[in-house]
Chain A
Amino acid sequence: MLNLLKHELQSRWGAIIGWGIGLALFGAMYIAIFPEVSEQMAALADLSIYQAMGMDLGSFEGFISSSVVLFIPIMLGIYAIITSTQTLAGEEDNGTLELILAMPLHRWQILSMKAIAIAVASFLILVIAGFGNALVLDAIKATVEVDVTPMQLFVAVLSGWPITMAFLMLGLLLGAYLPNRRSAALATTVIFIASYFGENLAGFVESLDAIKPLSLFYYFDSSATVFTEGVKAADVGLLLGVAVLFFGLALLGFQRRNVTVGAWPWQRSRITE
């Protein structure tokens, strides 16, 4: 069973390195340009749109949290959608799953190893990105006065992992129930976008405040307080709990379903117990 995990991780090394370096460069760019743009950003800080979105662009902490800390998980969300739907639905679509199912492994073992592999891969991507950003911050600390330490930035970047996990497992879940990868990817993307923009929109309209908790992004803190107060354990626990729930449901669906059939659940074989 661990050999399957090894294979799953090996097949993701390229993506881990590529995404990790890409996101490190993305963050590094924002950190590096702050000394140049800090005055313009301070001028924008009073705009109501940014205030409504909880962004404080006038400070380094606010600028970095609303750019690097927020957008790294959003971009990693693209990776989450691609990789989670490829992991199950994609492998079923292209037929490689059939040979793995022919091995003496339980289905729960196959799905668990795949889930662990994508969880580890996304974590390593954030470690690389966080480490790269921390290095750049350390380098510019000599030229600009900031209160954020490289370690705080590293932790803040890593704080994107729980929400990434929730969307990874959502993709896996939809891949376990929907007929093909395309529909699973589409559904995950719609939920991802709706979750992000729904949470932002609710920030503008007071009457929508009550629906904010329905968005997974509600539990992801990308404000400057992530540096001062740290990551909220309750939010991390909730997002990881949702991820575990999605994984459990994916497992349930995958355990019971016909593979290689590519149909909607009600079109698949009725299984007798």
Chain B
Amino acid sequence: MSERVIETRNLTVYYGKHRGIKDVNLSVKQGEVFGFLGPNGAGKTTTQRVLMDVIRPTNGSASIFGRDCRKEGVAIRKRIGYLPGELSLYPNMKGHNFLNMLASLREKKVDRAYRQQLYERLNFDPTRKMKEYSQGNKQKIGIVAAFMGKPDLLILDEPTTGLDPLMQKIVMELVREARDDDRTVFFSSHILPEVQAVCDRVGIIRDGQLIKTERVESLIKRQYKRLYITLRQPPPTDAFAIEGVTEMGRNGQMVMLEVRQGLDKVLETAVAFGIKDIETPSVTLEDTFLAFYDRQNHGGNHAQSTQT
């Protein structure tokens, strides 16, 4: 059984009266790439900052490598590479001086050849002052800083922010390579195709509460199916008013449905009007994520965290 690298229990942070996160229970295993999804203000950054002991929990606990994030933060951080979401750098320092400084604060020696390799792969020139770098290049410094020590755990807050698509791809390659080395990656992102491409599991956080934790493929499969059914006879408008089925629209004889349950009833109804063609377009993580939020916003009750 893989070691649990990150574990939180009823993790709660309040800023005065304002909610940061509430009762977040999550578990990330060794060698796993875990995507942390949620809109702005949902609590992603707060969770990551608690893991880094930048913010302290109001209630509950967080542990990494079996150690308490507050009490044994130094021992934990020896094994972590962290990329903050709001990366700020010293404007008058040169890129490589800054990275040298960070490397010198770690006990574990940074492999210079690997760091050079990161520069080359990210097409990054470390010899300039940081105030001269574009937003994308500043982000590259943060990425090199997080990855250069080959840490056992990477905590990355929106790692591809400000990067062009080519560089986004390279960062995702670095994430995959970390997983191939049996290292663990915990990252938040708004770019759902990249999460889908690289993550083993995702957690969805909303209003500070973790509402779903599941493997990416099963999350997509379980949420709903899309059926585009072309019928021989036009059905009445309420023909597919079936529980668990949402009619998304019509295009001539074609009826576009999202089916969460009651697939047999949908097919029975369709057969009654004569099926000419059925298409099942693939559902992406983005579709699932948006549908999830849409349902939550329309009174659905899915606030139970599901651990898989």
Which A positions have Cβ atoms within 8 angstroms of B?
1, 3-4, 6-7, 11, 94-96, 98-106, 256, 258-261, 263, 266-272
Contacts and interface: CB of A to CB of B under 8 A. Distances in A.
B59 interface: yes
B86 A95 contact: yes
Contacts of B49: 98, 260
B87 interface: yes
Q: Which 3 A-B pairs have the closest CB atoms?
A: A95-B88, A3-B104, A267-B16
Contacts, number: 93
14 contacts: A1-B105, A98-B86, A99-B82, A99-B87, A102-B52, A102-B77, A103-B102, A104-B107, A105-B105, A267-B15, A268-B15, A269-B13, A269-B57, A269-B58
A258 B55 contact: yes
Contact of A11 (B20, B73, B80, B93): B93
Nearest to B17: A267
Interface of B: 13-16, 20, 49, 52-59, 73-75, 77-78, 80, 82, 84, 86-90, 92-93, 101-102, 104-107, 142, 145
Q: Is the interface of A mostly helix, strand, loop or mixed?
A: loop
Contacts of B73: 106
B139 to A, nearest CB: 13
B102 A98 contact: no
Given A103-B102, A104-B107, A98 B54 contact: yes
Contacts of B87: 95, 99
B16 A258 contact: no
B84 A102 contact: yes
A259 B55 contact: yes
B168 to A, nearest CB: 22
B99 to A, nearest CB: 11
B170 to A, nearest CB: 21
Nearest to A91: B88
A102 B82 contact: yes
Contact of A96 (B54, B74, B77, B90): B90
B105 A3 contact: yes
B101 A263 contact: no
A246 B82 CA distance: 32
B55 A96 contact: no
Contacts of A3: 101, 104-105
Contacts of A101: 52-54
Contact of A99 (B57, B58, B84): B84
Contacts of A269: 13-15, 20, 55-58
Contact of A7 (B74, B78, B86, B101): B101
Given A98-B84, A104-B78, A259 B54 contact: yes
Nearest to B106: A104
Contacts of B74: 104-106
A268 B15 CA distance: 5
Contact of B89 (A96, A105, A106): A96
Contacts of B106: 103-104
Nearest to A259: B54
Contacts of A104: 74-75, 77-78, 105-107
Candidate in B14, B56, B82, B107 with the most chain A CB atoms within 10 angstroms:
B56
B56 A11 contact: no
B107 A263 contact: no
Contacts of A260: 49, 54-55
